[in-house]
Amino acid sequence: MISMKARTVKVYEYEKLKTLPDQYGRYLDDTELKALIKFNDENDNKYFTVINQGIRFSQYVGVIQVGNLTLEILPKADRVNHYEESEADKWRGALLSMLKVCNKLSADAVNEANLKRRPMSMLDLYFRMFLKELELLLHQGLFKKYKKETNNIKAWKGRMHFSKNLQHNLIRKDRFYTTHEVYSYDHTINRILLKTLNIITQVSSDIDIIHSAKNLASLFPEQTHQAITESTFKRLPHSRKLVPYRQALKISEIIILNFSPEIKSGGTKLLALLFDMNKLWEEYLFRMLCRVERESFQVSAQQSQKFWNWKSIRPDIVIKLDKITYIIDAKWKIIDRKHPADADLKQMYVYNMYWEAEKSMLLYPKAQESGEEESFGVFHKGREGDNLCKLGFVKVLDENGKLDQHIGDKIIAKLTA
């Protein structure tokens, strides 16, 4: 029997979720499972693996709203299964903070989430961000745009369609069939904003958010229907008039392109905001390293060099400190300290050679202090002087369960040890 009551389920990356409740009462009903499988099929099966009567999650974290279920997928930096609510909230907070550092969530939204007694879902944070931006735009007044219109009008303006004018106005000399420009609220920008509001009213389970979205939608002039796709956003003009709309359109793009209204398992609608934890970890570390204050210090991301024919290579992070080059490759995974993957070591060897780096580091997350410091290993051939690589492990959270604000300095310390 399917429950119509809204519920929230929290899982960690790489966990399983089945139709049979587990020991913590977590489950998917049949309709939710079918909708998730169809969504995954439409996205090259990258978000999870289908198993018997359930799914196994991958490295993607974030939130999925499917029907009445809010499914939060959280990161974790150890192999211990933490099912206490406080532990889940800690990693949820860490994820939100990483998204804030990487400019994928506003600081105000994250601060608001931390102040709420009842945690808001990540979707609701994006919804509230959008509604706040749109309230400001509507207060300032939506802008109009010139558009071409073809119809029978009383005053001749624009380009006359002679054949149609004869057809429609042979005995009506007071009418002119023309194509002309009109100054109108009915254009792509406003259609995008209105469609975002309509999605929010369909998906959100928060009564206040739904009420606000409906109120704002009622303030919009009537809009012509338009299919909004990825190419629609790419074709948006870059003009000074659109600068105030930039943030709202950015959130609209996230919401519209991740909404799947065609999941027809019992009429279930689905909206997913998922982030590849490997890419998020890499960007987060880069941005935290950019905050390091040292003389003769430079940091860059995704530098590229030609490797073979059309192929190129690009390490995650390149650091120059006191004229010495260091390479970092960020890996969000849990490994044995003594057994790095051969492929990863070979990759670092190539980076050392191409960037003439004396030292490189494979950088992994950890949840607890280990007490032991990693040491550099030696590549036995290749270049004169030092040709070293190490496995580095940095604690993600500080003693208060928050993101470590000094992680950049600790990474530099590991490289220069």
* Per-residue pLDDT at 114 exceeds 90: no
Mean pLDDT score, 208-218: 94
* Per-residue pLDDT at 115 exceeds 60: no
Spell out the domain ranges in the chain: 7-140+189-276, 145-184, 290-416
Pick the closest to residue 355 from 331, 380, 379, 320 (CA basis).
320
Strands 324-330 and 359-366, sheet pairing:
parallel
Residue 340 — pLDDT band, cuts 50, 70, 90? confident
* Per-residue pLDDT at 265 exceeds 50: no
Contact 127, 214 (CB under 8 A): no
> pLDDT by residue (tens digit) across 12-43?
999 999 999 999 899 999 999 999 999 999 88
- Sort 259 into a burial class: Cβ within 10 Å, 0-12 / 13-18 / 19+: buried
Least confident residue range of 178-182, 331-335, 340-344: 178-182
Least confident residue range of 73-87, 237-251, 287-301: 73-87
> Is the pTM value of this prediction over 0.85?
no
* Per-residue pLDDT at 303 exceeds 50: yes
CATH architecture label of 290-416: 3-Layer(aba) Sandwich (3.40)
Half-sphere exposure of 249 (CA within 13 A, CB side): 19
